Amino acid sequence: MNGAPQFRCARCPDLGWTPGDTPEFQAHQRTRHGDRPITPLDWETTALQLIRAAATTGRTFTIAEILTPIGEHPEPDRRQSINGVLTRRVATQGLIEPVGATESAKPTTHFSLVRQWRGVRSAAA
């Protein structure tokens, strides 16, 4: 995208990144998607794409840090469990493996321990 602002839209996974809810992102939402809010399926599809992409990098990551750019799940009652559901799905597919634990960077979790993951070499090849 030549000179255009970069941001993540859960409905447009081909776009790049920008932190937070910027005026450019709000304009994109209005012009490309109207007032339709992000759906749970949009969010979950993008989340799975991000986790799978992180698995190919070979670096250690937490699910929370990978999903930070797309914000929280649009359904408040699913926010506590959805990351685990998606992680289990990708791990069961053999794409990631647990490699350790670290303190969570999310302030709302009060620095609780979270699992660290890494892509499985055979799956990334």
| E strand residue ranges, 3-84 | none
| Rounded CA separation 9/6 (Å) | 10
pLDDT digits (tens, 9 = 90+) for 100-120: 999 988 777 777 899 999 998
Encode pLDDT of 50-86 as tens digits.
898 889 888 999 998 888 877 777 777 787 788 889 9
Topology of the domain covering 40-124: Arc Repressor Mutant, subunit A (1.10.10)
Could you give the maximum distance between any two Cα atoms of the chain, in Å? 43
Locate the domains of the chain by residue range. Answer: 1-36, 40-124
